[in-house]
Amino acid sequence: MGFQHINFVDIEFDDPQILLHKDVIYINGGNPFTLLYYAKKSGADEIIRTLAAQNVIIVGVSAGTLLLGPNINIVDFFTPQMNTMNLKDFKALGVTDKLVFPHYDREDIFKDSTNKTIEEKIVKFESNENCKVTRLNDEEYISILINQAY
């Protein structure tokens, strides 16, 4: 894609200031609770919000997608056992107001004792939370334009 210089930043250990003055920020997957915890603890949350407001391209993958949304409530609904950080506040960065459910096509990773499908669980979540969830399969993506003048 023609990238000339790439920095790998781990917001748990690295200073997130390194994100400033970058043209593209790529936020990878992992545990959404852990990612949210360290984004807030390190100050990366504010830096990412600032960069988004400056129209820097920000790519979120899996947990990275969830981090950019309004909250990670759906993660707590589906996989509360992942909350090893014991987070109580699930408010995410709010770069977008879209609630996204990645891995929609991966029934194998969301099995539980209820034997409900991902779709059945999302419908219940939408009803409980009075919201709309955007469902994304592993090979799908969405583009969201923020702060664009028309």
> Rounded to whole angstroms, how far apart are CA atoms 61 and 28?
5
Alpha-carbon torsion, ordered 33, 34, 37, 41, to 10 deg: -170
Q: Active-site residue numbers?
A: 62, 103
What is the identity of the amino acid at 39? A
Give the relative orientation of helices 32-42 and 44-53 as an angle to the nearest 10 degrees.
Answer: 90
Residues in CB range of 86: below 8 A, 6 or more apart: none
